[in-house]
Structure 1
Amino acid sequence: MVGLPWWQYVISMSGFIIFLLLLIDFMRKHPKFTNLFWIAGLCTFPVWIIGGGVVGWFRWSKTLSMLLPIVFLSICRIAHNEQKKGKMWGFIQKKNVIWFFYAILFLNIMEATIKDVTLGNYLNALCGFLLCVTIPFAPKFWGFTAEKPTDLVSYTTVSWNFLYTTWNACFVFAESPKGFASTCCILIAAELYPIIKKRPELYIISRVYTLAFLLLLKACLPNVIPTLMESSSWYNSQVLYYWGLANFIIIVPYVFWHTWQLHTGKCDVSFRRGKINKIKIDKVEELKV
């Protein structure tokens, strides 16, 4: 299959990445608007059916398992940001609620891992399973910041973020090659934003916003991405195999390192990237129990 001109990929992908970086920043700074945006997005589900933007169990599961929790995430941010009072708001502000977001991350990785198995991409599926095993525990390494605009923070390591990025890219390369270029955009934006802000703990919230936006875009306007950056011509079965193999080889020593950090107690500092970030998480841990 003949692909698009190379310059079109450069322009469309660069423009999309810049847009996503601005989107993350805006949604972080305006939790109320963000909440309304995702509620409105969720209400567009009839368009998904009419336009054929969401087809099959995996697409429905992936789309709903992102948009429903992201609405709840926005409500939680508002609850903490404005210190809302009342029984419902008090429950939302409890520390153990953070386990919900840990579970959603776990679920989203497992959905793709199961799909990887059905595609025969077994080594990459093993990498996905081990990513689930090595998600930093909640609520110890998760929380909502005390300072406004109230961010969801998760102290994932640089290595875990990299492994998640390369695992997810490999999965999409197998599952939907035509959408691979757009997936690269959302993965790059999620990696870049915390670096730009010098806030590595913002990786998960950056990833949440970029993935949810891409899924909503594909659901409502399924022809936009193929027109701008269709990438089916990039697919190569040998590349897929060796990519999955590389991901598995890399994550095995990481699992041992992760386990050792937990066993020795060094995770308190290493997962938080040093004492400065430990101070930040201490503020997060002041949430209600």
Structure 2
Amino acid sequence: MNIPVWKYVLSMASYFTLLMFIVGCMRKYCKFSNWFWLASLLTFPIWLMSGGVVGWFRWFKIISVIIPTIFLGFSRVAHYEKRQGKFWTALQKDWVLWVLFGVLFLNIMEATVKDLQTGNYFNSLCGFLLCVTMPYAPKFWKISAEHGDRGDLISYTTIAWNFLYTTWNLCFVYGESHSFFASSICILMAAEIYPIIKGRPELYITSRVYTLATHMLFRACLPNLFPAIMDSSAWFNPNVLKYWGIINAILIIPYVFWHTRQLHTGKSGTSFRRGQVESISF
């Protein structure tokens, strides 16, 4: 499909702006966010009628995004409102952080396996090493209602890890879903830039959760929307995919050594948090 450049600019800029607004809204109104994503499951019949969810990977992907987003929503409400009762008290325990850590780990690994299946081996290596270098729970994860936070999921990933995740995921989508690459740029850039604007890289996972969940819901309900307004199939070049994967694999190697050294020397407690162990500005 031959789409004029100005349409790409307009559609991508509009989608990026919408996603930035959605992340801010979901952070600010945790109770609304909780009920919104719970209600999103009611759109399941539309997924079937639209034909937007096809194949095991796509089915698993949308379910593995929406359900944890709902789980996160209940956990945020439990922490922010300090609710009492067996159910709500359980959601204030550390096991919740381990579950969220595991969801992110599996989310990366499923794409890593898909990269292997499509022959994108170097990018697959980068995905595996991203899993290895994820700051572990619960030491580097929390759900915070302090310093103006509204039950935010705080994960002390570093600026470098966030960047590596972004370029790895873009490369994965470039190889796996050519037509959706342009829209994926929007969701990944929104997740990347929102924490930068706030000066808080620890909000990256929160931003990523809500941009991805929004995107998957759009794709399930309106499968022809993105190919119609920003089809990027013509952008694909197998050589670009090959060398992009190689570059990602090269870039993450020194980060693995740095990450390992921080853990070995005991500096990770401050370096992952950029020295801000307790003092976090909103």
- TM-score, normalising length: structure 2: 0.97
AA aligned to 1:263 is: H
> Shift of residue 44 of structure 1?
1.2
Distance in 1 separating the partners of 2:256 and 2:98: 22
AA aligned to 1:37 is: F
Distance in 2 separating the partners of 1:264 and 1:30: 40
> Shift of residue 200 of structure 1?
1.6
AA aligned to 1:96 is: W
> Shift of residue 280 of structure 1?
4.2
Partner of 2:163: 162
Distance in 2 separating the partners of 1:218 and 1:131: 26
- Secondary structure, in 3 states, of the residue corresponding to 1:144? strand
In the TM superposition, what are the counterparts of 1:237-248 in structure 2 within 5 Å? 237-248=238-249
Partner of 1:228: 229
Partner of 1:183: 184
Partner of 1:98: 97
Q: Does 1:120 align with 2:119?
A: yes
AA aligned to 2:97 is: I
- TM-score, normalising length: structure 1: 0.94
In the TM superposition, what are the counterparts of 1:175-214 in structure 2 within 5 Å? 175-214=176-215
Partner of 2:218: 217
> Shift of residue 97 of structure 1?
1.7
> Shift of residue 198 of structure 1?
1.7
AA aligned to 2:42 is: C
Partner of 1:287: none
> Shift of residue 212 of structure 1?
0.7
Distance in 2 separating the partners of 1:3 and 1:209: 31
Assess if the C-alpha contact under 8 Å between 1:44 and 1:220 holds in 2. Answer: yes
Greater mean alpha carbon deviation, residues 194-203 or residues 163-172 = 194-203
Assess if the C-alpha contact under 8 Å between 1:124 and 1:245 holds in 2. Answer: yes
- Secondary structure, in 3 states, of the residue corresponding to 1:238? helix
Render the CA deviation track for 1:41-81: whole Å, top value 9, x for unaligned. Answer: 12211211111100001001110000000001000000011
Q: Which runs of 5+ in 1 are unaligned?
A: 282-289
Partner of 1:81: 80
Greater mean alpha carbon deviation, residues 44-53 or residues 21-30 = 44-53
Residues matched between the structures, number = 279
Partner of 1:266: 267
Partner of 1:141: 140
In the TM superposition, what are the counterparts of 1:271-282 in structure 2 within 5 Å? 271-274=272-275, 277-280=276-279
> Shift of residue 95 of structure 1?
2.0
Distance in 2 separating the partners of 1:121 and 1:103: 24
In the TM superposition, what are the counterparts of 1:49-88 in structure 2 within 5 Å? 49-88=48-87
AA aligned to 2:178 is: P
Partner of 1:284: none
Partner of 1:18: 17
Distance in 2 separating the partners of 1:53 and 1:110: 23
Assess if the C-alpha contact under 8 Å between 1:3 and 1:232 holds in 2. Answer: no
Render the CA deviation track for 1:82-141: whole Å, top value 9, x for unaligned. Answer: 110011111110123210100000000001001111111011001100100110010000
Distance in 2 separating the partners of 1:9 and 1:49: 29
Distance in 1 separating the partners of 2:74 and 2:279: 22
Identity of aligned residues (%): 59
Assess if the C-alpha contact under 8 Å between 1:27 and 1:34 holds in 2. Answer: yes
Distance in 2 separating the partners of 1:40 and 1:280: 36
Distance in 2 separating the partners of 1:121 and 1:45: 32
Assess if the C-alpha contact under 8 Å between 1:178 and 1:232 holds in 2. Answer: yes
AA aligned to 2:70 is: V
